[in-house]
Structure 1
Amino acid sequence: MSTNRPYSLTATGPATPATMRAAVLTAPGIENLHVTNVPVPQPRPGWVRIKVMAFGLNRSEYHSVTGQAGGMSYPRVLGIEASGIVDLDPQGRLPSGTQVVTMMGGMGRAFDGGYAQYVVVPREQVLTFDSGLPWEVIGSVPETLQTAHGSLTTGLNLQAGQSLLIRGGTSALGLATAALAVDMGCTVYATSRRRAGLELLASRGVTALRDDGAVAEQVRGYQPGGVDAVLELVGVPTLRDSLLATAVHGTVCFTGMLSDSWTITEFYPMDWIPNGVRLTTYSGQASDLPAAELQRVLDRIEAGVLNLLPVHTYPLDEIVRAQQDMAACAHTGKLVGLPWA
């Protein structure tokens, strides 16, 4: 393991300031998202304060900005994940300087999240690790890995040597899941609507399929009996076709809604679901990602044997542009904010 740690084991640097920079949403609408100075939060009993070194952007925050998310109150610092170092654990269980990630559990909705220089979160949703990777790389991993790992294990129970179709393959989650599945020896198919996306997927050891709305026929050209598993990231518009691409006793896991279509108005299970095909879902929390899996993936990235996904970085002051780029799908891969840049 690398000893080139981007932090100190004995000190976190200068004393914690009284105020910090944070991206605050005061009401639904991108015009209501502003980077401003706010007080540095104080951890209550059982909570810890993290100095945020990087935070990933997620579709969840887009839903918050556009008013589609439930459980929101305003004003709110956005961000459902963060990576950094422990700044303060009042009970002393996590030493200052410890590398940590945190995610979900109400971050960015029920309480202030990771789009900030500091964040306070319950200690139970903190995972520790040790890595010499750059913070922008570390910051791209936590929530994406949690969802990819949970989808492959809890959602699909995918086994080495099986076949997997990823619907929405060039999303950050799609690319990360494909990398993990290829790494475990699976045959992976993934979809994109764009030529550049197809080329990217092919370069990562994946059979790329152009998504014309009828992918099942293409899949069965390669696998006449259908694939063992499908990760559905586009959502309702493609779900029925994804079910048709699945083998008997295979599983479709509904994890994403890139289409922003959340519900099926007329769902007739006997018509939609082919005989013997299983339909599941996955939506996890920090506790669903084993710390050992986080460390394993970071180690493999650091060793150069696993390329999870491309990373595009933004300073915190450019968070509005980052949100606009995410909404426009301007980049392929993970968007990461750097609050100290």
Structure 2
Amino acid sequence: MRAVVLDGPGPPEVLVIRDLPIPTAAPGQVLVEVKAFGLNRSELHTRLGLGDGVTFPRVPGVEATGVVAEAPGGEFETGQQVVAMMGGMGRTFDGGYAQYTLVPASQVISFTSDLPWATLGAIPEMLQTANGVLTVGLDAQPGQTLLVRGGSSSVGMATTLLAKQRGLTVVATTRDPAKRDDMQRGGVDHVVIDDGDIADRVRDVAPDGVDVALELVGTPTLPDTLASVGVHGVVCFAGMLSNEWVVPEFYPIGYLPNGVRLTAYAGDASDLPAGLLQEFLDGIADGSVAAPISNTYAFDDIVTAHTDMESNVATGKLVVLT
């Protein structure tokens, strides 16, 4: 099989395509024939040498979409459409940047869809994170106002879609004014151009502060995001578009505004209900949901794809077809 191999940290050019043996599945494992995979910031962190627990050489990729090639334990049928994600994929064992990936059966979710693989490959990790943030991280409720810091990212746009379905008003940020129209078409009610200091402009929309906020940029913007939230509101830290995720010399009383709560979310395949995945895909198929996909790449263009991800040029998800 062809696979993208990372021998060690470096620029996009360190991602090299090689021929590797197709893995053999044991009971409790599933061999997935990968049709498409989405790109995620965690893979950028791995490539930059910032990922925890990563050993090299490694096939990156925390998610993959395709069909079951082998499932000796009988958990899935051969040919069944599935997504696989997380659980150490692309970090402690080889991940989805390949024509085949071998994963624990617990990391696999089945679905049925006639959508193109380029669309299907964009969904799993993006949807899992967006759903987990709204439910576990924020406990968001209808009628609330949500701030999405990093709203033009794939997770930001997916969170907006789910939030609008659940009756929330969405304020979302971007550093690039050219992305405003795409974000509004994706359901954002108020777009704020992010210059690093947005709290006052967010409070022009919600004078008492928003009810809940999702932080996807990282620790550099977290204090300003916290300042955008009202008393008893919640901020969920779930992304690091800035590649910075540590708060030095954290002093809670000085860092957190009075009465504002800070949570975090980092999910797994078990946090994406199969019913929600199927419902989301069915919504894309019938036109009621717009999949936030930016660009699709051929397998041989993995270096270009990573370059685009690192430069933050996309509005939505980047997907690679095998």
**TM-score, normalising length: structure 1:** 0.92
User: What CA distance in whole angstroms lies between the structure 2 residues aligned with 1:310 and 1:99?
Assistant: 20
- The answer to whether the 8 Å contact 2:3/2:59 transfers is yes
Aligned mate of 1:310, from 293, 304, 310: 293
User: What CA distance in whole angstroms lies between the structure 2 residues aligned with 1:137 and 1:263?
Assistant: 34
- The answer to whether the 8 Å contact 2:302/2:320 transfers is yes
| Counterpart residue identity of residue 2, structure 2 | R
Q: Tell me the residue number matched to 1:111.
A: 93
Q: Tell me the residue number matched to 2:111.
A: 129
Asked whether 1:228 is paired with 2:182, we answer no
Residues 230-245 of structure 1: pairs in structure 2 closer than 5 A: 230-245=213-228
| Counterpart residue identity of residue 110, structure 1 | T
The superposition leaves residues 155-175 of structure 1 with CA deviations (integer Å, 9 ceiling, x where unpaired) of: 000011211000011111111
The superposition leaves residues 119-173 of structure 1 with CA deviations (integer Å, 9 ceiling, x where unpaired) of: 1100111101111111111100000111110001000000112110000111111
Asked whether 1:23 is paired with 2:4, we answer yes
Asked whether 1:200 is paired with 2:176, we answer no
Give the number of equivalent residue pairs: 320
Q: Percent identity?
A: 53
Deviation of 1:42 (Å): 0.7
- The answer to whether the 8 Å contact 1:137/1:311 transfers is no
After TM superposition, which residue ranges in structure 1, 4 or more long, deviate above 6 angstroms? none
Q: Tell me the residue number matched to 2:81.
A: 99
Q: Tell me the residue number matched to 2:59.
A: 77
Residues 1-341 of structure 1: pairs in structure 2 closer than 5 A: 20-30=1-11, 31-206=13-188, 207-339=190-322
User: What CA distance in whole angstroms lies between the structure 1 residues aligned with 2:291 and 2:196?
Assistant: 27
3-state SS of paired residue (1:127): strand
3-state SS of paired residue (1:214): coil
**TM-score, normalising length: structure 2:** 0.97
Deviation of 1:328 (Å): 1.1
- The answer to whether the 8 Å contact 1:136/1:311 transfers is no
User: What CA distance in whole angstroms lies between the structure 2 residues aligned with 1:143 and 1:204?
Assistant: 18
Larger radius of gyration: 1
User: What CA distance in whole angstroms lies between the structure 2 residues aligned with 1:186 and 1:114?
Assistant: 34
The superposition leaves residues 228-271 of structure 1 with CA deviations (integer Å, 9 ceiling, x where unpaired) of: 10000011111111111111111000001111112111322112
Deviation of 1:179 (Å): 1.2
Q: Which runs of 5+ in 1 are unaligned?
A: 1-19
Deviation of 1:203 (Å): 2.7
